[in-house]
Amino acid sequence: MQLDDAKPHLPRTLHPVLLERARQYAIVTLTGPRQSGKTTLCRTAFPALPWVSLERPDLRRQALDDPRGLLARHPHGAILDEVQRAPELLSYLQDDVDQRPGVRGRWILTGSHNLLLLQAVSQSLAGRTALLNLLPFGLDELPADWLAGRSWFDVALQGGYPAPWQRDIPIDVWLADYVATYLDRDVRDVLRVGDLAGFERFVRLCAGRAGQLVNFSSLGADAGIAHNTAKAWLSALEVTFVTFTLRPWAPNLTTREVKSPKLYFWDTGLLCWLLGLRRAEDVALHPLRGAIFENLVTVQLLKRDLHRGRRPSWWFYRDAKGLEVDLVQDEGLRHRVVEVKSGATVQAEWARPLQVLGERMAKRGLGVEPELVYGGDEDGSAQKIPVRSWRRLVG
């Protein structure tokens, strides 16, 4: 007996952007982590296009052995899923689209290995494809009635991977299977890691450093691996859309600004699971509560840009004396600076880093729009700086 209890798919913010890019380019390349909903989105947006999954060994073998034949079987185009499995196919796609310069939206490519796929795309399809990213659900994509009755602890714990939402799978059950599958498949593909248990320990150590500056020597020492191995393993996590780093904003306001990036996870549900958190009250009481909330806010702001087809321009600021502002958006003439606090009661001193950085920027003639995002529900102000609830990130 086959059971099908899946709920209707939640709409994705990227959907109209994907359609628009398909009207502009012959090829659209969509990257993102496994299980972020790439296949569902593409098949929903382009129901007339055949779906060719290169995860299937038979189709992958066709793509590798007879790429021209595979493309010829789809004269009107197709969705080519997990195309990093056959990167050589992209060279033949280049020839195909060059022979039909006026045709748009014929080929929709998806991939879950960011760097590997983009390297192949840059070599073969530069100027011929649009590049988009689909991450797990952002706050603005979650059901409004569910969000209305939840704290940010609940939201962080649940995360945004679509499958648990669609099929009512307990998030801890689903993530346990996801981590096991990810380690078995993607890490072997990217790094050929033999010590999967050691790599999982490394991933958990990374979770314990979310929102912190990356220190490869410390991370490697704690994991019992070499400095260079720590670099390679963290790179694998970035390539497969598990983690990302935020670079320091260095406008030379001082001569002693830090150079190291900060580490974050693309999904707070996965982050909480790796930290051993299974209940919302565990998140509320955890020593890394502030880092989890900072991760939640940071990734939501990046998703809002990426799911609208925009390249994020977010950084953080920190100098050698410890002054830090969690987020800086540099858009040339506009600089939005954001401090993030997990507490539900606004404290006046929270505004101090924003004031100091604002003064430094003003001396350099830079315009600044400060705001403070916190874990409470009501908007307000602190030291004349706007204070916004995390719920405002939905809109």
State residue 253's pLDDT score. 66
Percent pLDDT > 90 in the chain is 65
* Average pLDDT for 46-63: 94
Q: Which two tokens stand for residue 39?
A: 């296949």
- Contacts of residue 294, defined as CB under 8 A and 6 or more positions apart, other chains included, come to 210, 211, 326, 340, 342
Percent pLDDT > 70 in the chain is 92
State residue 332's pLDDT score. 77
Q: Which two tokens stand for residue 285?
A: 């009481």
pTM of the model as a whole: 0.92
**Architecture in CATH for domain 15-133:** 3-Layer(aba) Sandwich (3.40)
Model confidence at 298, pLDDT cuts 50, 70, 90, reads: very high
* Average pLDDT for 343-369: 92
> pLDDT tens, 24-42?
999 999 999 999 999 999 9
* Average pLDDT for 119-131: 74
- Contacts of residue 388, defined as CB under 8 A and 6 or more positions apart, other chains included, come to 371, 372, 373, 374, 379
pLDDT beyond 80 at 295 = yes
pLDDT beyond 70 at 255 = no
Q: Which helix (H) or strand (E) holds 327?
A: strand 324-331
Model confidence at 161, pLDDT cuts 50, 70, 90, reads: very high
Domains of the chain, by residue range, sit at: 15-133, 139-394
pLDDT beyond 50 at 4 = no
* Average pLDDT for 350-379: 92
* Average pLDDT for 277-281: 96
DSSP secondary structure string for all residues of 106-175: -EEEEES-HHHHHHHHHHH-TTTEEEEE-PSPPGGGS-HHHHHT--HHHHHHH-S-HHHHHHT--HHHHH
State residue 167's pLDDT score. 85
Model confidence at 2, pLDDT cuts 50, 70, 90, reads: very low
* Average pLDDT for 258-276: 95
